[in-house]
Chain A
């Protein structure tokens, strides 16, 4: 085969695949925008889409004439929560992709390094034991407590896993995460059960299943910032992550500084997860399943996988949260339950399709 023909084939088909992916990306961006607008409209007080758009137009300074109540519900109550959900979903999916590739472990999820366990320790200490620092609000304490707990667990995992040469082998890191997670779970169960406070126990359970109920603009903006920073940062690692396809030694021979890359990505993703957990509790399933679903759709190349996973994660969490707060009147379902119920069937269908290929 001539060089020209070989290169045309190499490029031609690549470009078609690229177009398809760009199309899929555009479709998902559209779907996300629609989801956000619809998610804001749905709730105990339904708001028509036209009103939602009017409120947004007015808030953007385009003028309009909406009632104060509508403005309150759309802009002050629901918008931050929906955008926060999108941000959290995007960040969880990104973290899931990175950890799965880095550890070459299909079961890796954002809570791999004991982070949810550590955060739960912090949350329980605040909810049940009532640990407080003078003057801080209970919700602020909860956020602070779970963040510090998550960071504590992360530090413990890294101390356990780091080798003498400063290396961070994935297998040992995962096991250290399991060990620390178990210790944290033991503490959480013990304190919750021994306290005998049923209301506190219920709140701990709700927290461990995740909830976006408390999100206002200040926390939503923080989540959005975390998601944006994470998205931009991981784009710098697409090639490095690709290079891990054939393992660590192959990545090294392709010019990746394996140890440094691993440290940056493991601690970076852990910090992102810790920030999310502090505001939303541990929302399962998104970070585990979304990367797999997107990989089945567009393949394992990270320059496609990362952005598309972020979009799918965002859409999934917007709808999961909308369902969580609107399926049962006057009561919220933990969002972790919804992500599992929504995500599992989709995943099952894709797995069957993949098997049939």
Chain B
């Protein structure tokens, strides 16, 4: 998937300016940026849910916005930040929604797509949830069920809008590990820089609707860039235990330093600032 100089806005404001992104087949791209930097808008355009004011999104040789909705839904699946329904749906029914783009207009046989559904259930590990009611699921379970629904669409491209938002650390890692294993082309908006560095092949950093940096994690997540975009002073380097890229923050430029963060740290960092493994980079 390739997006070329995407520009999009609402009447009073330009949200995205000349954004270009290239996501090679089978790779995981992390979309980073502060709140309001245009991540969700860009994802909606890449998903074909919104039409850009200028620019093109290509899916291989085809133009994404030239496809009709149904053809598009067979190739691109989306996981929204929040999935809300007032209906009393069972998990199985939610997953079956993913077959809609493959089914004809008239009610089809029940066996349509059952292999795809079974595979999706297995990949998203929701086999034990099938008879549960959607309304009784926890945040993590809902996210897995929506992933199964998206996989039932049998897409080439999976678009995730802050999929780990409401998940605890363990479920965040489980979810991203699952996504990583799929082998699909994935574009995910993420807030957590460490997780992004660990699970993505490439990162795209947005600020005020423009791309600030893109490429490998080591090139994107530099202290200078992070300070420019997030206003946070950091050290970045491989962690001695894991070897993974690790962002340790020192203080927020606009605030008074780390003391207001509270006690949720694992230990003092070697340079003396209080640090937990960085979850919650921008404490509020």
Q: Is B107 an interface residue (CB 8 A)?
A: yes
Q: Are B93 and A301 closer than 8 Å at their CB atoms?
A: yes
Q: Are B100 and A6 closer than 8 Å at their CB atoms?
A: no
The B-contacting residues of A in range 250-266, CB under 8 angstroms, are 250, 252-258
CB distance from B110 to the nearest CB of A (A): 6
Q: Are B110 and A1 closer than 8 Å at their CB atoms?
A: no
A239/B105 contact (C-beta < 8 A), A10-B118, A254-B97, A299-B88 known: yes
A9/B73 contact (C-beta < 8 A), A243-B97, A247-B84, A254-B97 known: no
Question: Taking chain A's interface residues, is the majority helix, strand, or loop, or is none over half, making it mixed?
Answer: helix
Q: Mark A8-48, 1 if CB is under 8 A from B, else 0.
A: 01110111001000000000000000000000000000000
CB distance from B73 to the nearest CB of A (A): 3
Q: Are A250 and B80 closer than 8 Å at their CB atoms?
A: yes
Q: Are A238 and B117 closer than 8 Å at their CB atoms?
A: no
CB distance from A15 to the nearest CB of B (A): 7
A301 to B99, CA, bound (A): 14
Q: Is A268 an interface residue (CB 8 A)?
A: no
A235/B87 contact (C-beta < 8 A), A10-B92, A243-B97, A254-B100 known: no
Q: Is B47 an interface residue (CB 8 A)?
A: yes
Closest to B128 in A: A1
Query: How many residues on chain B are close to A (CB under 8 Å)?
Result: 47
Q: Which residues of A contact B117 (CB under 8 A)?
A: 7, 10
Q: Are B130 and A10 closer than 8 Å at their CB atoms?
A: yes
Q: Mark B72-84, 1 if CB is under 8 A from A, else 0.
A: 1110111010011
Query: Which stretch from B119-127, B220-228, B259-267 is at the chain A interface?
Result: B119-127
Q: Are B69 and A14 closer than 8 Å at their CB atoms?
A: no
Q: Which residues of A contact B69 (CB under 8 A)?
A: 252, 255-258
Size category of the binding interface on chain A? 35 or more
A243 to B149, CA, bound (A): 12
Q: Are A249 and B122 closer than 8 Å at their CB atoms?
A: no
Closest to B121 in A: A6
Q: Which residues of B contact A236 (CB under 8 A)?
A: 105-106
Q: Give the 8 A-B residue pairs with the shortest CB-CB distance, closest first.
A: A255-B73, A7-B118, A255-B101, A255-B70, A1-B127, A253-B78, A300-B87, A303-B107
Known contacts A4-B118, A253-B77; can you find 18 more A-B pairs with CB under 8 A?
A: A3-B119, A6-B127, A10-B118, A10-B130, A13-B130, A104-B86, A239-B105, A240-B100, A243-B100, A245-B89, A245-B97, A247-B85, A253-B76, A254-B73, A254-B101, A257-B68, A299-B88, A301-B93
Chain A residues with CB under 8 Å of chain B are 1-7, 9-11, 13-15, 18, 104, 106, 235-240, 242-243, 245-247, 249-250, 252-258, 295, 299-301, 303
A–B complex contacts, Cβ < 8 Å, 23 sampled? A1-B128, A3-B122, A6-B121, A6-B127, A11-B110, A11-B111, A235-B107, A236-B105, A239-B103, A239-B105, A243-B100, A245-B94, A246-B85, A249-B80, A250-B78, A253-B49, A253-B78, A254-B101, A255-B69, A255-B71, A255-B73, A295-B87, A300-B88
